[in-house]
Amino acid sequence: MKELNKSMIEYKNSYEELTRYCQSILTEEELEKIAKAYEMAEIILGDKKWSWGEQILSHSIEVGKIAINEIGLGVDSVICALLHNTFNEVEDKEAHFHQIDKLFGRSVKNILEGIAKINALDTETISVHSENYRKLILALSGDVRVILIKIADRLYDMRTLEWVGEDLRQKFSTETSYLYAPLAHRLGLYKIKSELEDTALRYLNPEAYQYIVKRLEETSEERKNFIAKFVRPIENKLKTKGFKFEMKARTKSIYSIWNKMNKQKVGFEEVYDLFAIRVILNSTPENEKSDCWQVYSIVTEEYQPNTERLRDWISIPKSNGYESLHTTVMGPLAKWVEVQIRTSRMDEVAEKGFAAHWKYKGGAGSRDLDNWLAGIREILESKDTNLVDFIDDFQKNIYEDEIFVFTPKGDLKKLPAGATILDFAYDIHSHVGDKCVGGKVNGRIVTLKYKLQNGDQIEIETSNNQKPKIDWLEYAVTSKAKSRIKASLNEAKKIEAEHGKEIILRKFKNWKLEFNDEVIRKVLKHYKLKYAIDLYYQISIDKIDPLEIKNLVVEETTPTEKDKLEEVLSGDQIKDLRFSKGNDFLIIDNNINNVVYKLAPCCNPIPGDNIFGFVTIKEGIKIHRYSCPNAKDMIARYPYRVIQARWRDTEKQSAFQATIRISGDDEIGIVGEISQILAKDFQVQIRSISVDSDTEGMFDGTIRILVFDTGHLEFVIQRLKQIKGVRHVVRSDS
């Protein structure tokens, strides 16, 4: 591991470089404050080092340089950069912050307190399951300068990552990828964002990083020749029109190339937009828009544009202040090229970020940033927020393009591309979202699923009877909408789960069993559930039967059929039932007049059939044949409801309905002959008979008769087969 070490002379040189950056933009009074801050930092930090050998004071100065030179922050932020490591080196932190308040003001003290909260978390690695991560983002979502200084701090860390151990490299790189790079993007710090992403990729996936670096080097000369050929005719036309401009070719960042290769499942050669051409105009404020559109016209006259790829962030800038006109055109060799058109002022904002230029200089758009930070805080302050989902949505929302829509009063709203009516409703207020039933877009009625388009004017319709539903999560795009829907669903789930908990506790009490933590753990493992609330919820909605749980828990003894029925039927219901000697079978009387059990109409069992009982929710016990078409499913899905049953041996005969399917040649009088034989010869009572004939001289009939048992039925079937013209006779289930 390398060691980063500087002498006191090098400190002075580094600090003097910082003051040179400050002199061009700060007053004498502000420079004196920075000198006091450096003096305090030097006294407290001295030549102290971190474990990897870096001197802390040197680090603080370098962060100050980034803050003022690369981000464009002011005096308070530079002071905070110099002092942000001091509170870890003082014993009386309260006195230290009091002194900072006295010397530099409340604003500096508040920023440093925010940074102190973040640094005190000291997480081993970023973990979206950790409560510390929630606190980290909440701390960042206060004063925006806390974010900006932490980004400057992290940028320097990433630039010097080779000096630290492997564990810290992984920790810093993962945090950067999850949090700091997306935040830099959101604040318009695109250059810094790209550097953070590239460096994180270098350490998290070195093979992919080195592969792309090598391929970029190999294709460098080819790109230069192509760019020169592409740029030449545009340059000539712009000069002819009298524009003052500069043209740059910006190669796509390594991370962006890697991300595109992964998302689109393509190789390096198939990433068509490896670079973009940037036209930077030296325009007066009043001519900025018209100049950009004139250049757009010149570019698209020379090269064919892809109209679907036009991005107009000049008419309505992004919420982070970004302004530019993007188009994609077909260049030489049939290659697509992205062209970005902007003024020098717009380019400066794009390089250094919206917040640094306007947030503390009275910028009119600062309200957007405040609202965004407030929205982040509102989401995270809810204890129901799932951090895994939040981070996923957070990154997606930040990197997506924006669309611009209007309220009925004409107020502008900015939402991520793909946002729906539901997202718009939640953006107005959480309660509006919860009660949303749809809306009107440009006067036309639409559903919750409607995806908003640029320029839509939207009116939300609500109902007091409406409640968030699980499928809403499929329509919502924004973090705010998803978090609120999940919170509402969780509340409803908690109420349902309480009911389920009451059910299982009552059941276990009746069974004289203890429902303790050990039982809960066993049941959760069996059903592959994570939390007890999920178990109680599934009990309440009848997805898990308490009897299943009992059978899972009580493994020592095998319950008899009588035991099973006593669990689900009252004493009055089972008192007249008859069981075999060991209570292993329910005995079914030939004379079915017991209200507790009934013969199932789906298979019409008769004495002699192999049968079982099935305990239903509301209709008592249904007796089925094992050959019933529904038997296999019932036994497989609800084995705990299946009761072994047998017919009672008795000489007393009762009649049971059976159904016979019969077919054969459609001869004159055959139906009458069948009826006569059944009624007169076999003395069988016919309940119904129906026959259909076809054009080919065949008939197909269904006969319902009353028989005593399976032997009687089989006798009838065999005799029917002997009738001339009858071809097939079988028993039917229904």
Q: Is residue 584 part of a domain?
A: yes
- Answer yes or no: is pLDDT of 127 > 60: no
What's the half-sphere exposure (Cβ side, CA atoms, 13 Å) at 68? Answer: 28
Same domain, 566 and 547: no
- Answer yes or no: is pLDDT of 357 > 50: no
| SS3 (DSSP) at 129 | coil
Check if the beta carbon of residue 670 is closer than 8 Å to that of residue 725: yes
Q: Is residue 464 part of a domain?
A: no
pLDDT tens across 598-636, in order?
888 888 888 888 888 888 877 778 889 888 888 888 888
pLDDT at 148: 85
Please work out, in degrees rounded to the nearest 5, the angle formed at the alpha carbon of residue 302 by the alpha carbons of 301 and 307: 60
Q: Is residue 70 part of a domain?
A: yes
The residue ranking higher by pLDDT, 40 or 542, is 40
pTM of the model: 0.55
Same domain, 610 and 542: no
Give CA–CA dist 19/65, Å, rounded. Answer: 9
Q: Is residue 402 part of a domain?
A: no
Same domain, 539 and 594: no
Q: Is residue 453 part of a domain?
A: no
Give CA–CA dist 38/29, Å, rounded. Answer: 15
Same domain, 252 and 341: yes
pLDDT at 79: 95
Domain span at residue 574?
561-647
Check if the beta carbon of residue 277 is closer than 8 Å to that of residue 230: yes
Same domain, 582 and 717: no
Q: Is 38 exposed, middle or buried (0-12, 13-18, 19+ CB in 10 A)?
A: buried
> Do the bridges between strand 458-462 and strand 444-446 make them parallel or antiparallel, or are there none, so unpaired?
unpaired
The residue ranking higher by pLDDT, 37 or 603, is 37
Residue 664, domain CATH: 3.30.70.260
Last residue of a domain, one of 189, 206, 238: 189
Same domain, 494 and 611: no
584 pLDDT band (50/70/90 cuts)? low
Residue 19, domain CATH: 1.10.3210.10
Same domain, 291 and 335: yes
Same domain, 516 and 587: no
pLDDT tens across 100-120, in order?
999 999 989 988 988 887 776
Same domain, 19 and 155: yes
Same domain, 625 and 670: no
- Sequence-distant (6+) residues with CB within 8 A of 79 are 33, 34, 37, 104, 108
Q: Number of folded domains in the chain?
A: 5
- Sequence-distant (6+) residues with CB within 8 A of 134 are 380, 385, 387
pLDDT tens across 445-487, in order?
999 989 998 778 899 999 999 989 888 988 898 878 888 888 8
Same domain, 318 and 346: yes
Q: Is residue 227 part of a domain?
A: yes
Give CA–CA dist 421/436, Å, rounded. Answer: 9
pLDDT at 131: 47
pLDDT tens across 49-83, in order?
888 888 899 999 999 999 988 888 889 999 999 99
The residue ranking higher by pLDDT, 649 or 451, is 451
The residue ranking higher by pLDDT, 578 or 663, is 663
Q: Is residue 157 part of a domain?
A: yes
Same domain, 226 and 311: yes
